[in-house]
A = this chain, B = another copy of it.
């Protein structure tokens, strides 16, 4: 059951790693992140570009350049990252893939799926990068394969 695209997954892994291991200071080198997390450098760069354009990250070119969070990690919610990388239709899909499925024209599993999607969205709304990072550094949870 693949829910999130690789883009979202890599972004969450990488930014959680930044919060857990890099504190909140200065720009973090993308090449180093790519090596530490075993994620393709070019692919990771493309993902960060989208987040930079969306205002979630700031970037800096040249020696000692890299990316950093545009706001403190406790103010950045998971949903923001997912929204950027999955697009606006992410929480608006029908489990049976029927276009037009909705309150006024529901498919047979619409009611259940509506609640399931709402629960997932709520989780993403409530969780911040700071919490993910804290879990990883406090409980030493895994973040790479």
Contacts and interface: CB of A to CB of B under 8 A. Distances in A.
B95 A3 contact: yes
A75 interface: no
Nearest to A6: B97
Interface in A94-112: 95-101, 105-110, 112
Nearest to A145: B99
A90 to B, nearest CB: 5
A136 B123 contact: no
A42 interface: no
Contact of A108 (B4, B86, B90, B143): B143
Contacts of A2: 2, 93, 97
Contacts of A3: 1, 3, 95
Interface of A: 1-4, 6, 9, 12-13, 16, 86, 90-91, 93, 95-101, 105-110, 112, 116-117, 119-120, 123, 127, 131-132, 135-136, 141-145
6 contacts: A1-B93, A1-B120, A3-B95, A12-B96, A100-B142, A107-B143
